Amino acid sequence: MRPWQFLLLPALLAVSSALDCSEVPGTLKQIDAGNGQVFGVNNAGNIYTLYGDSWVQLPGSLKHVTVGPAGVWGVNTNNNIYKLVGGSWQLTTGLLKQIDAGGDLLIAGVNMNDAIFCLPGPAAVIVNNASSLPWVNIAGGLKYYSCGLWGCWGVNSADDIYFRSDVTPDHCEGSNWQHVPGKLSMIEVGTDGSVYGVNSAGQIYHRDGITKSNPVGTTWTQVANFICKCKHLSHDLGLLWLISDEGKIVKCRI
């Protein structure tokens, strides 16, 4: 691994302190970390999970994979939804282009028309081929939707940012949308409630001030500028996982 230390330059907006980062061997187009596990997919649709410092390929093909309290889920190029059960991918009902398992046992995601869906906790934990999953349609339209400890966040086709309040495992649809100032092209919520996102220029941002009593937080802080642009990220257990626009994998300690 090659250590990267990123220094800060003076800026008008808030910028975080320097990060201790290193490049991880391999290339990916999407990555997700949760519950101490890391999964990712590459441009060919190959699925990988990290064991120690090595990537291990799993059977199957996906375009998006996610791991969290409700298990490991993914969607393929046909938008079919799968859950990893006993080491094998089990086809479930529904169609999504992006899926997230970072919420409190619930599953969330968006389909090819940017329609938003969630799956309540009890149904997300118990999945079998004989049952039709009770996906709940949430009003609105998003291209990316992610949930965490204290709520869900999403971005729409114009990169506008929204927070969904009052989300619980049994009431995954929540109650209302709150527009949050800023622009992001994708956003990820850690199981600890932390929120990170990437904008169209490949810059990384962290949401400050998030607490149980103030789940929407206060301000965005730009994470130190990197040598290369970032197109995807995930955060878990104090580690920020980044994918550059060239597919390089970078791990940073926060």
Q: 3-9+22-253, what's its fold?
A: Methylamine Dehydrogenase; Chain H (2.130.10)
Question: What is the share, in percent, of the chain residues with pLDDT greater than 70?
Answer: 90
Q: What is the mean pLDDT of the chain?
A: 90
* Residue 53 pLDDT > 90: no
9-18, 64-73, 123-132, 230-239: least confidently modelled range: 9-18
Confidence at residue 7, expressed as pLDDT on a 0 to 100 scale = 32
* Residue 39 pLDDT > 90: yes
Question: What is the share, in percent, of the chain residues with pLDDT greater than 90?
Answer: 78
User: 195-233, pLDDT tens digit by residue?
Assistant: 999 999 999 999 999 999 999 999 999 997 665 689 999
Confidence at residue 177, expressed as pLDDT on a 0 to 100 scale = 97
Tell me how crowded residue 83 is: count the other CB atoms within 10 A of its CB.
21
**Model confidence at 132, in pLDDT bands (50, 70, 90)?**
confident
Vertex 172: Cα angle to 254 and 102 (nearest 5): 25
Confidence at residue 226, expressed as pLDDT on a 0 to 100 scale = 63
pLDDT (average), residues 105-112? 96
In the chain, where the domains are located: 3-9+22-253
Amino acid occupying residue 55: W
pLDDT (average), residues 226-252? 91
Q: In what order do the strands lie in the sheet with 30-34?
A: 30-34, 37-41, 47-51, 54-58
How many CA atoms lie within 13 Å of 19's alpha carbon, on the beta-carbon side? Answer: 22
Confidence at residue 9, expressed as pLDDT on a 0 to 100 scale = 30
Task: Tell me the backbone φ, ψ of residue 125, rounded to 5 degrees.
Answer: -75, -40
| Of the candidates 58, 102, 38, the residue with the CA atom closest to the CA atom of residue 242 | 38
Vertex 193: Cα angle to 243 and 17 (nearest 5): 60
Q: Where are the alpha helices (DSSP H) in the chain?
A: 121-125
Q: Which residue has the tokens 């990988």?
A: 48
